[in-house]
Amino acid sequence: MPLNHDVIGLESEPAERSWTSADTLLYALGVGAGMDDPAGELEFTTENSAGVRQRVLPTFAVLAAQAPARRDLGDFDRAMLVHAEQSFELHRPLPPAGTVHVTTTVTGVHDKGSGALVVSEARAVEPGSGETLVTTRSSVFIRGEGGFGGSRGPSARWSQPSRPPDHRVTYRTRPEQALLYRLSGDRNPLHSDPKFAARAGFARPILHGLCTYGVTGRALLHTLAGSDPARFAGMSGRFSAPVFPGEPLTVSMWCDGDTALFRTTKEDGTVVIDRGTATVRPR
């Protein structure tokens, strides 16, 4: 059965999405907060430290805007699906606990030859005011589902500056990082089950793309926004290679005013998040 193209352009019914203080604390730990210095990121990892107010890592916005049920994309092998791109715009800082109504729209299914690129947009609004809290855009690549004769889709322009990066930050990941991150909701066995990972062509389970994204977001937050989530307006990036739990990640940043370009690489130089852009608000 081919992919379901009938969902393109159809906005879903609003779905309620709630999270608790424990959810945002667990997410922070899942993307490595406090790993090397347990006292260094207490505002994101604790709710009862003296003189410290709990705050939320900006990249949790992607989880806050996820609808509880996925759109019906048709019948395909889920082992062939990988996260391809992710962006979010954070209209104001997220509360440690909250509720939103989420609507999603599949905006395109593009034919990449070896697979299909499915692009979606989601909007999370506050139930009472209707104020938009988060807007996200994401795409997934489904291997083996291309060749249906559709458009290849637009190509985004991005090029690495010719000068050395203004900042370079390296964070470790733990061997059990995926087992911890999956407790934030993504139970895809690609990240935990060796047999399932082997079906997808991997020697062992890989790290969630959104975990790599969250580790990257921490580096951007602390380096570009002075660790202040209120200044972090959004980020985007393309997942370009898998990461295995335990591999360190280096984020290189090139700054231009309130915008920065970035790339995330592994120790051997392999680019794992490419075409990155982050936006911060002035102090």
d(CA 231, CA 247): 29
Q: Would residue 87 count as lying in a domain?
A: yes
CATH label of the domain that carries residue 257: 3.10.129.10
- Kindly tell me if the per-residue pLDDT of 70 is higher than 70: no
Q: Would residue 184 count as lying in a domain?
A: yes
Is 145 within 8 Å of 3 (Cβ atoms)?
Answer: yes
Token code pair at residue 252: 């290189």
Q: What is the pLDDT of residues 11-51, one digit of tens each?
A: 889 999 999 999 999 999 999 999 999 999 999 999 999 99
208 assigned to active site:
no
Is 215 within 8 Å of 32 (Cβ atoms)?
Answer: yes
Q: Which pLDDT score, from 0 to 100, does residue 116 have?
A: 87
What single letter denotes the amino acid at residue 245?
P
Q: Would residue 151 count as lying in a domain?
A: no
d(CA 119, CA 104): 11
Q: Which pLDDT score, from 0 to 100, does residue 92 have?
A: 93
Q: Which domain holds residue 55?
A: 5-146+158-280
Q: Is 6 left (phi over 0), alpha (psi -120 to 50) or beta?
A: alpha
d(CA 111, CA 118): 9
Q: Would residue 251 count as lying in a domain?
A: yes
How many structural domains comprise the chain? 1
- Kindly tell me if the per-residue pLDDT of 2 is higher than 80: no
Q: What is the pLDDT of residues 86-139, one digit of tens each?
A: 999 999 999 999 999 999 999 888 888 888 888 999 999 999 899 999 999 999
Percent of the chain with pLDDT over 70: 99
d(CA 33, CA 23): 14
256 assigned to active site:
no
Catalytic residue among 83, 186, 228, 268: 186
Q: What is the pLDDT of residues 173-224, one digit of tens each?
A: 999 999 999 999 999 999 999 999 999 899 999 999 999 999 999 999 999 9
DSSP per position, 39-72:
TTTHHHH-S--TT------TTHHHHHT--SS---
Q: Would residue 276 count as lying in a domain?
A: yes
- Kindly tell me if the per-residue pLDDT of 149 is higher than 80: no
Q: Would residue 199 count as lying in a domain?
A: yes
Q: Would residue 152 count as lying in a domain?
A: no
Highest mean pLDDT: which range of 110-119, 142-151, 242-251:
242-251
Catalytic residue among 110, 191, 268, 274: 191
pTM: 0.92
Q: Would residue 190 count as lying in a domain?
A: yes
